[in-house]
Amino acid sequence: MSIGVRVAVVGATGAVGAEFLRLVEKKPFPIRSVRLFASERSAGREIDVLGQRVRVENLDGADPTGIDVAFFSAGGAISRAHAPRFVSAGACVIDNSSAFRMDPAVPLVVPEINLDAIPRRPGLIANPNCSTIVLLMALHPLHRVARVESVVASTYQAVSGTGARAIEELESQVRAWVESPGEPAASEVYPHPIAFNVIPKVQDVVDRGYTQEEMKMQNETRKILRDPAITVSATCVRVPVFRSHSIAARIVTERKIGVEEARRALAAAPGVKLVDDPASERYPMPLYTSGEPDIQVGRIREDWTSDRGLLFFVAGDQLLKGAAQNGMQIAAALVASGRLA
């Protein structure tokens, strides 16, 4: 650790923070040092990183001097309170919260799509919403060849998108069911039991019946694709799956795109794996995309409700490509272009 990038992970003890640390271990670029930050409650804990024992620092009052890139994943309030002072101290902040995503001055980046949105001297960069990234990885290759005008999306979202406590809630509800199947399950994280159920509401309702999560899918898609006209009508649903979000999407394109042309565009797209042979039981599923870097797309069919419509099903690990991996890819691209350290 003598040459290379000085990295910080803020929210190091959370679910996405843990994924950032796992990616750091893979040395995506030369790393000189790693600092870890968390709230006072978790400060003082020690975590092994790249063969060294690193003490978690209390974010409040910490001095961010000497950090090249900081990955924030501790929620919007923490990002709003601390990201600006990290940037002032010279760090590039890659923020996984929604705090700055729609700020016109802040680039919102999926590296496969709009790396060019990052300025020469990057300050704050926002990592998009996880469902939006999973959708866009399949949407963008089709948008490039035929311009997507609209999307109707129904999601199948894993509990790990809510965080570690939601994973525990699903686990404990399933264990309780095995012990006494008749008993109603106790719920704290979600308003209703998630085991053996689906909950058709992710986050709060904010706009004409749409939830925050559903609004993010439209607003962030518009910003990332630089297309204020594209519409995304989403229904976001939590399902009893631990990891990986899935989305059933129906798109309408400006120019009609056939199934074979769509398959070719998706097969050629970086970060996308075409898994589309239902007769051989090959289609995207959360179980097999968990822990995988690529987004999987399949069930590609012509839509019968529009002469320019197409249906597909996409699944991807929302903690990896939908969060930490996307952020790490941004950092790696900045290192490669000499904009970090």
Which are the catalytic amino acids? 130, 245
Which residues, numbered 198-237, are part of the site for its own copies (CB under 8 A)?
198-201, 204-205, 208-211, 218, 231-233, 235, 237
Tell me if 49 contacts its own copies by CB under 8 A.
no
> Rounded to an integer, what is the distance from CA 232 to the centroid of its chain?
17
- List phi, psi (to 5°) of 320: -90, -90
Judged by beta carbon, residue 36 or residue 199, the one nearer its own copies is 199
Candidate residues 271, 309, 316, 322; the one interacting with its own copies per rule CB under 8 A: 309
| Calpha distance 317→108 (Å, rounded) | 19
With contacts defined by CB under 8 A, name the span among 54-62, 113-121, 280-288, 326-334 that binds its own copies: 280-288
Is beta strand 124-126 parallel, antiparallel or unpaired with respect to 92-95? parallel
What DSSP assignment string belongs to 23-67?
HHHT-SS-EEEEEEEE-TTTTT-EEEETTEEEEEEESTT---TT-
- How many beta carbons lie within 10 A of that of residue 215, not counting itself? 20
Candidate residues 222, 261, 306, 333; the one interacting with its own copies per rule CB under 8 A: 306
Judged by beta carbon, residue 101 or residue 238, the one nearer its own copies is 238
Tell me if 161 contacts its own copies by CB under 8 A.
no
With contacts defined by CB under 8 A, name the span among 92-100, 101-109, 174-182, 327-335 that binds its own copies: 174-182
- Provide the minimum distance between the beta carbon of 177 and its own copies in the complex, in angstroms, as a whole number: 7
Judged by beta carbon, residue 34 or residue 199, the one nearer its own copies is 199
Q: What is the side-by-side order of every strand in the sheet holding 309-316?
A: 231-235, 148-156, 245-253, 309-316, 295-302, 272-274
Cβ contacts of 124 within 8 Å, gap of 6 or more: 83, 84, 87, 92, 93, 95, 100, 106
Judged by beta carbon, residue 45 or residue 192, the one nearer its own copies is 192
Candidate residues 18, 69, 92, 252; the one interacting with its own copies per rule CB under 8 A: 252
Q: Alpha-carbon torsion 17, 296, 261, 306, what sign?
A: negative
Judged by beta carbon, residue 224 or residue 236, the one nearer its own copies is 236
| Calpha distance 74→13 (Å, rounded) | 9
Q: CA–CA distance from 115 to each of 122, 129, 201, 228, 332 (Å)?
A: 11, 16, 32, 18, 11
- Provide the minimum distance between the beta carbon of 48 and its own copies in the complex, in angstroms, as a whole number: 22
Tell me if 189 contacts its own copies by CB under 8 A.
no
- Provide the minimum distance between the beta carbon of 201 and its own copies in the complex, in angstroms, as a whole number: 5
Contacts 24+ apart (CB under 8 A), 271-280: 271/112, 271/137, 271/295, 271/321, 272/137, 272/138, 272/141, 272/296, 272/297, 273/297, 274/298, 276/300
With contacts defined by CB under 8 A, name the span among 2-10, 14-22, 98-106, 238-246 that binds its own copies: 238-246
- Provide the minimum distance between the beta carbon of 49 and its own copies in the complex, in angstroms, as a whole number: 25
Tell me if 295 contacts its own copies by CB under 8 A.
no
- Provide the minimum distance between the beta carbon of 268 and its own copies in the complex, in angstroms, as a whole number: 20
Sites of contact with its own copies (CB under 8 A) = 149-152, 154, 156, 174-175, 177-178, 191-193, 196-201, 204-205, 208-211, 218, 231-233, 235, 237, 239-242, 246, 248, 250, 252, 259, 278-279, 281, 283-288, 298-306, 309, 311, 313
